Amino acid sequence: MLEQKFSIPHWQEDDRPREKMMLKGRSALSDAELLAIIIGTGSGNKSAVDLGRELLALTNGDLYEFGKLTRAQLSKVKGIGDSKAIAILAALELGRRRKEVITEKKIKIISSHAAYLQLKGYYQDLMHEESYVMYLDRSNQIIQIKHLSTGGQSGTYVDAKIVFKMGMELCASGMILSHNHPSGQLKPSEQDMKITNKIREFGEMIDLHLLDHLIITDNGYFSFSKENML
């Protein structure tokens, strides 16, 4: 009977996360309560809300940094096994994907910053390098944003043949390359400059123009176009 006080069903109704959401709406819940709903149950003498608080303590309550945690890091909290950790990661991934959704061919890219705003969500919370390409029509409206490659912490490979194949299939007139630097370094590497020049030169020959190449970090972006490197 002693453990009943730690179990959410024995709390006052106002303090139960699910019931609280139904009565007051999702915005009324704390971060720990939202996590409690995701993980479902507590463990031992800890309620799901207790576990939620311990999880948030991993990043001192910083939700942005929390989104970067791995399954192994989440599982360091006693009572959070693989199934609970995976449920959390799935919820975070849905949130990330929601930010990626765009209405095709309605967004016009008028600057490097405008392109950055559309692309930055694709790199949120990543601890490894990835690359994406934004294809544009003759009016500089987005046709589609395509994933190119996934790499490690220090680099990712971009296949120029795939870049142009996808662009020609979409009948694109222009494109903007992008990749992230998890290190936060906003300086292009020698390889970054080589692949940029290679794609720019071939693009000019087939009328599929490289308009920019963005390097994206948590703190901002580097634009080859703005730096007159195209």
Put residue 228 in one of left, alpha, beta given phi > 0 → left and psi -120 to 50 → alpha. Answer: left
Determine the structural domain holding residue 166 and report its residue range.
Answer: 103-223
Nearest one of 187, 186, 230, 194 to 212, comparing CA atoms: 230
Let me know if residue 11 belongs to a domain.
yes
pLDDT at 51 > cutoff 60: yes
User: Are 87 and 187 part of one and the same domain?
Assistant: no
Q: Do residues 122 and 208 both lie within one domain?
A: yes
Q: Give the per-residue SS3 of 118-147.
A: HHHHHHCCCCCCEEEEEEECCCCEEEEEEE
CB 146 within 8 A of CB 102: no
Confidence band (pLDDT; 50, 70, 90) for 156?
A: confident
The answer on 63 and 120 residing in a single domain is no
Q: How many domains does one find in the chain?
A: 2
Identify whether 145 is part of a domain.
Answer: yes
Helix (H) or strand (E) holding 176: strand 174-180
Task: State the Cα–Cα distance between residues 182 and 174, nearest whole angstrom.
Answer: 27
Share of the chain above pLDDT 70, in %: 89
Contact in structure between 133 and 175 (CB atoms under 8 Å): yes
Mean of the pLDDT values across residues 158-162?
90
64 and 129 housed in the same domain? no
Separation between Cα atoms, residue 136 and residue 45, nearest integer Å: 56
Is 230 a member of any domain? Answer: no
pLDDT digits (tens, 9 = 90+) for 72-122: 999 999 999 999 999 999 999 888 777 766 544 478 999 999 999 999 999
Residues 95 and 107 reside in one and the same domain:
no
Q: Is residue 164 part of a domain?
A: yes
Q: Final residue of a domain: which of 84, 99, 114?
A: 99
Q: How far is CA 78 from the centre of its chain?
A: 27
Residues 76 and 123 in one domain: no
For residue 56, tell me if it sits in a domain: yes
